[in-house]
Amino acid sequence: MKIVACNSNPPLAEAVAAELNIPLCNVSVRRFADMEIFVEIFENVRGEDVFVVQSTCTPTNDNLMELLIMLDALRRGSARRITAVMPYFGYARQDRKSGPRTPISAKLVANLLVEAGADRILTLDLHAMQIQGFFDIPVDNLYAAPLFVRDIKERYGDRDLMIVSPDVGGVVRAREIAQRLNTDLAIIDKRRERAGVSEVMNVIGDVKGRHCLLVDDIVDSGGSLCNAAQAITNHGAASVGAYVTHGVLTGRAVERVAESTIEMLTITDSIMATDAVKAAKNIRQVTIAGLLARAMRAVADESSVSSLFD
């Protein structure tokens, strides 16, 4: 097997390669003067099982285009099988028509990946499980839940915990972690008037005196997460923390989290941390390199990926 890294998250790709004890493939991803992307592979990939590590995070379109061009280069280099390893799958929130004459961009991205040459997709905590159905190739959707559960046990020990879903759509994800920790679940009932703006209406569950942990897949502007944390605090929670898989953290998000009642926001390194994230006192990252490495080895060996979560 060979591992190829594009430019979205080199530290994660290097960590995965170190876990597998396989050097990264010698490739070049650069831009012409007009910002066209050019890819060159300096190793023979004919007949190889190749894994391309690339999150389609900010700048989303550039990173997506890098991935598509790399897939095309590998296909034309006669790679036997090409797996797009996308720790963060951009455009996943556009998984349905949100109104008249609007696109389903997640399906469009799925089509582009397949046409470019991907034979398989390996990703983490898709925003919506049905996105797997947009592909006519195998999709392995990994979960951060076991990683979070281990971290919660190490950091919070014997505290009286309560897992909180910041909205109704995330209940399944939060319930899985609550079951693994054998603790209770609360739900935030919120209303979203428009994209990026939400209002907490009710807290379903008694959070008074409990150490609450919000669990979600994506934190973008941070508004919903911080509003949920404030609502829980207003209902008498002893403390509030958060575990979110993908730290998109755009605009004033890091500042909002710093000013909020969230004691610590834990995210994965599916998206490379910005300088602001690194400097934030109440944001930390846990690595998914080991999880990705085990999944990639399972794919290469034709063994079970789902057994990683048993």
CATH of 2-142+290-309, one of 3.40.50.2020, 3.90.650.10, 3.40.1180.10, 3.30.70.2740: 3.40.50.2020
Taking all residues of the chain, what is their mean pLDDT, rounded to a whole number?
94
Q: Is the pLDDT of residue 197 over 80?
A: no
Would you say 90 is a known binding-site residue?
no
Sorting pLDDT into bands at 50, 70 and 90, what band is 152? Answer: very high
- Alpha carbons within 13 angstroms on the beta-carbon side of residue 214 total 34
Q: Is the pLDDT of residue 191 over 90?
A: no
pLDDT digits (tens, 9 = 90+) for 240-285: 999 999 999 999 999 999 999 999 999 999 999 999 999 999 999 9
CA–CA distances in Å: residue 309 to residues 50, 89, 141, 159: 24, 20, 11, 25
Residue type, 32: F
Is 190 annotated in the active site?
Answer: yes
Mean pLDDT of 230-238: 94
Domain boundaries for CATH 3.40.50.2020 within the chain: 2-142+290-309, 145-287
Would you say 235 is a known binding-site residue?
no
Q: Is the pLDDT of residue 214 over 60?
A: yes
Sorting pLDDT into bands at 50, 70 and 90, what band is 193? Answer: low
**pLDDT computed for residue 206 by the predictor:** 94
Q: Is the pLDDT of residue 200 over 70?
A: no
CA–CA distances in Å: residue 275 to residues 187, 232, 254, 281: 32, 29, 10, 12
Would you say 256 is a known binding-site residue?
no
Sorting pLDDT into bands at 50, 70 and 90, what band is 309? Answer: confident
Sorting pLDDT into bands at 50, 70 and 90, what band is 60? Answer: very high
Would you say 96 is a known binding-site residue?
no
Dihedral over Cα of 148, 91, 187, 173: its sign: negative
Catalytically annotated residue among 97, 153, 190, 278: 190
**pLDDT computed for residue 165 by the predictor:** 95
Share of the chain above pLDDT 70, in %: 96
**pLDDT computed for residue 158 by the predictor:** 82
Share of the chain above pLDDT 90, in %: 89
Sorting pLDDT into bands at 50, 70 and 90, what band is 190? Answer: confident
Mean pLDDT of 29-53: 97
Sorting pLDDT into bands at 50, 70 and 90, what band is 199? Answer: low
CATH of 145-287, one of 3.40.50.720, 3.30.800.10, 3.40.50.2020, 2.40.50.100: 3.40.50.2020
Q: What is the rounded CA–CA span in Å between residue 193 and residue 304?
A: 42
Would you say 35 is a known binding-site residue?
yes
